[in-house]
Structure 1
């Protein structure tokens, strides 16, 4: 099983990602949390945890018994520290991943991050996500950048609409986003690809296979 470091594990989407990884026969989640008191939630479920603050030096999160094979970045500042966390925090983790020979880095980004200057809202946040995405693309790491539409708390449908550029807005459940991110960790799926997702009528697996074929 591959060890997956999940940055932002304590967030709403992060917890869903960790639970999916825990249920998987291929992946073992390592929940990266910022505060000591956040560890109890995951340790109660027998999920490995590691302390790490994206605003500081994150290199120590790799100094654990289990070698980290891949990284899934699902952290967010909630609009409070977009430069410090969403941008620079992502860069810190990308650099540390490079130094520790991580096989793949999956980034949870946002629709609109390709052209933040055109956004009517959340322009600073989207600019930070754009800068982080571009840094990852130029890092030399194998990556996938997933850009969902507006997040909802609806149930899992296991169906999405996916394109490199959808040219329309839309929403998608956190459950479907988490499912997409976890599937994207696969070695054969969406390598060095950036794509947008909203709710749709195509099974997540089929939609991702299309990305792989286009980018192969």
Structure 2
């Protein structure tokens, strides 16, 4: 078993799929959590091991994670409520608890600008529309910070499905918003993965050329 094994939740699409590609490029042993077999063949063909489970069911996460030598969990999951419970909180809470039980040391959570103190970065209309999801993500962040795991929270701005620009950056500022391409978020997450400077940090992720307004921004150096 490798010294480093990544457990990735959300690998089938979006930012998670982009992270999966970069972990393969870096030759980091990775286990992807899937609910269905739709992305199984693609991920396995790239060298990623697949485990089936549902983040909303804690026991299935124990079965997928325990005994696999998982050192770090990365989660990009979120979505609409199921039976009144949002994946953004309940799914991530279960992943965090399973990571602790499995003996993992590290957890990287992809959240969103607008959560917690960064609510000041969004206009009132956006907060009204996104309020339920942002509140659930805030609870997940709080659960992670209290878990005892070494954590990094990455809060991207508006996500765009375009090729990487290389202009992504991280900042501790909580009063800025903008957008960023999904592959650039993935690169920043993977940069955090190998940087101890990211430990215990909550960081916004944006594209340097897609920041709203004209304010100067101090970038976080990994």
Query: TM-score normalised by the shorter chain: which range applies?
Result: 0.7 to 0.9
Q: TM-score, normalised by structure 2?
A: 0.83
Does residue 1:180 correspond to 2:180, yes or no? no
Runs of 4+ in 1 over 4 A off after TM superposition: 115-118
Match of 1:160 in 2: 168
Instruction: State how 1:1-216 maps to structure 2 within 5 Å.
Output: 1=2, 2-25=4-27, 27-57=28-58, 58-63=61-66, 66-77=68-79, 79-81=80-82, 83-115=85-117, 119-200=127-208, 207-208=219-220, 210=221
**Quick one: distance in 2 between partners of 1:159 and 1:23?**
20
* Contact 2:74–2:107 (8 Å) recurs in 1: yes
Question: Bigger shift: 106-115 or 55-64?
Answer: 55-64
**Counterpart secondary structure, 1:16:** helix
Match of 1:204 in 2: none
* Contact 2:66–2:102 (8 Å) recurs in 1: no
**Quick one: distance in 2 between partners of 1:161 and 1:74?**
18
**Quick one: distance in 1 between partners of 2:189 and 2:14?**
14
* Contact 1:70–1:103 (8 Å) recurs in 2: yes
* Contact 1:83–1:128 (8 Å) recurs in 2: no
* Contact 1:172–1:199 (8 Å) recurs in 2: yes
| CA RMSD across the alignment | 2.2
**Compared with structure 1, are the counterparts of its residues 34 and 166 closer, same or farther at alpha carbon in structure 2 (3 Å cutoff)?**
same
Question: Bigger shift: 42-51 or 119-128?
Answer: 42-51
